[in-house]
Amino acid sequence: MFGRQVRLYVGKFDRGNDSSEFFDLSNLNFSFEITRSVEWYENSAVITIYNPSANTINRLMTEGNAVRIMAGYEDEGNLANVFIGQIAFVVPKRNGKNVTVEITCITDRGNFYQLSRLHCTFGFSKGMTIRKCLKELCDYANIALRAGTFPFLDEKLQHPFRVSGSFRFVVKEFTEYVLRPLNQCKIYLDNNEMIVFGKDNSMALEQIVLTHNSGLIECCPVRDETKNKVNFGDDPAYFMLSGTNQDVEPKKSPAVNIDRPLIVKGKEMMNPSIIPNSFAIIDSYDGSVYDAYLGVRGRFLITECKYMGGNFDNEFYVEFTAKEAPYKK
């Protein structure tokens, strides 16, 4: 993979991906650490800008309320948004002649916060497809639609639908009275994209393939016992001293087999297609003797991503956590 591409914009994204009011900091020396997960309220980013000009520092301290970061590789043609969110803190630091500015961002009030201020009126006539309705909503807000291949998207409205209010209210009403009766699905906004989820909280998008040829650096299984109460007793005496001089035999819960999916953690060269709630076909086998114990091969659901990088000498990759999601028989 060649031709690292990184874009950093700070400004006002009042309407989706409309970046008419922003300033471009892509040519500065900066690094970023972004966390995104299935729990959208945990999404955050920390951006560090190294030795910016005094004028840039002044603008960062006084202007803009949002940040947009794009990343990818030129030869892969995959430059895309990896984070869009609200500025929470801007903290300049001085160390001798060197100056850094650290920007902490969250998506807790990200694009939905801004889009909620848009007042609009929509009228969808009988016979329009669900996909076309969603596309018109996204076009109005200037955001992308990630609906995938759900069959119900091609179903037609049985009755006219008309609603007026904030964009957030319109989306909520459309979901409640059109989408849920059809398929119990739901939608939400993340990274200025409208994402459609099915009953199992997954997206019907094209599955990505992660192998050593795609840029997979490593991927290994993880033993996760945090939800396994079998190995621990319910009696507090099992964890603490009883407070007496007598030996106390701890009460342990009876052994019960629990069904838990295989969890894996991996690292891939920067790939903005790796996002939470997407499916991935992973193959980390390399022909070594460790494949039998550390190799990963199968279909997985991405649950958390951490994007690490910058535009100069920084590392450029995405770490991910995923759980096994085999095809249903």
For 163-180, what is each residue's pLDDT tens digit?
999 888 898 899 888 888
What pLDDT digit, counting tens, does each position of 179-199 carry? 888 776 778 777 777 888 776
Q: Are 161 and 174 in contact (CB under 8 A)?
A: yes
Q: CA 86 from chain center: how many Å?
A: 15
The kind and range of the H/E element at 174 are helix 167-174
The SS3 assignment for 30 reads strand
Q: What is the pLDDT of residue 272?
A: 92
Residue 194: alpha-carbon gap to chain centroid? 13
150: its two tokens:
């759900």
DSSP state of 42: G
Q: Which CATH number fits domain 116-197: 3.40.1350.10, 3.55.50.30, 3.65.10.10, 3.30.460.20?
A: 3.55.50.30
**Domain covering 4-109, topology:** Thrombin, subunit H (2.40.10)
- Residue keyed to tokens 């460790």: 290
Spell out the domain ranges in the chain: 4-109, 116-197, 208-324
Residues 26-58 pLDDT 10s: 999 999 999 998 776 668 999 999 999 999 999
> What are the tens digits of pLDDT across the range 84-132?
888 889 999 999 999 999 999 987 544 555 666 778 899 999 999 999 9
Instruction: Collect all residues with Cβ–Cβ distance below 8 Å to 243 and sequence separation of at least 6.
Output: none
SS3 2: coil
State yes or no: pLDDT of 67 exceeds 70. Answer: yes
CATH 2.40.30 fits 208-324, yes or no: yes
Name the nearest CA neighbour of 64 among 28, 19, 31, 33: 19
Q: Which residue do the tokens 């909280």 mark?
A: 201
What beta strand segments (E) does the chain contain?
A: 4-12, 21-24, 29-37, 44-50, 66-73, 80-95, 98-106, 119-124, 144-146, 161-166, 186-190, 193-197, 208-210, 216-222, 263-269, 279-283, 297-310, 317-324
What is the C-alpha to C-alpha distance for residues 44 and 169, in angstroms, rounded to an integer? 25
Global pTM reads 0.78
Percent of the chain with pLDDT over 70: 80
CA atoms within 13 A on the CB side of 43: 23
Tokens of 78: 């995959």
DSSP 121-135: EEEE-TT-BHHHHHH
